[in-house]
Amino acid sequence: MLKKIFWTGVLILLLGFLLKLTFGEIEIGNDKSWCFDRYRMYNYQIRDMRKQEGIEKSVFSTYWTFPYLYIYGMSGYTKITAVPFYTKIEKIPNKVFYNYISSYNDEPISVYHYSLNHLKNTYGDSLIIYNSLKSINYKDYIIFNELKVKGEVYYNLTKQSYQGHLLDGLEEIE
C-alpha cells in the first residue's frame, strides 16, 4: 500500500513538472524558456527554437501569464500566444529598427535581424502587425506600458550603445 502511494506521488510530481515545462516559464539565471522550450531567452535575446527564428534581438522586459508571453525590446512590442502546437504573434514594430534591417535587402545580419516581410513569410497568418498601441485591446495596452517602465534600465543601456539610434522608433509608438 505504501509503495502504491509513493509511486502515485512520484507520478503526480512528474506530471506537474511536465505541465510546468509545457505551459509554464522556466528560469535559470537570466535565461528563460516558455512553452516546452519552444521560445527561449538567452543573453537577452528571444528565439523560436522550432522555427529557428529570432523573435527579439534585445529584450528590455518580459511578462508571462499563461498562455501569453509579452515582450518589450528593440524591435518593438510583441505578444506571443505560447502553446506547444499553435502560434500567434502580435507585433507593434519599431519602424526605425525594421527600416534599418530592410536596408540590407532582406538579407539577415543575424538570426535576430530579419525583416518584417521575412517574419510574415515564416509565420504567415499567425503574425499580426499593428501600427500603434492604440490598435490593441486595453489589457494588452496596460501590460505593454508596464513592460516599458520595467525595461527602462535596459532601454537606457542600449540607447547609450552603438545601436542606440535603432531605438528612436520606440519613442514614436503610441
pLDDT in tens, the chain (174 residues): 777 777 777 777 776 665 555 556 676 677 777 766 778 888 788 888 888 888 888 889 999 888 899 999 999 999 998 877 788 999 999 988 888 777 665 555 555 556 788 888 888 999 999 998 889 999 999 999 999 999 988 888 888 876 777 787 777 776
Is residue 103 a contact partner of residue 116, using CB atoms and an 8 Å limit? no
Nearest to 128 by CA among 155, 89, 101, 97: 89
Question: Pairing relation of β-strands 39-42 and 127-129?
Answer: unpaired
How far apart CA 76 and CA 18 sit, in angstroms, is 32
How far apart CA 79 and CA 92 sit, in angstroms, is 9
Question: What is the pLDDT at residue 95?
Answer: 87
> 47 burial class (0-12, 13-18, 19+ CB within 10 angstroms)?
buried
Q: pTM of the prediction? A: 0.79
Nearest to 37 by CA among 45, 26, 52: 26
Q: What sign has the CA pseudo-torsion 111, 117, 121, 123?
A: positive
| 32 HSE (CA, 13 A, CB side) | 15
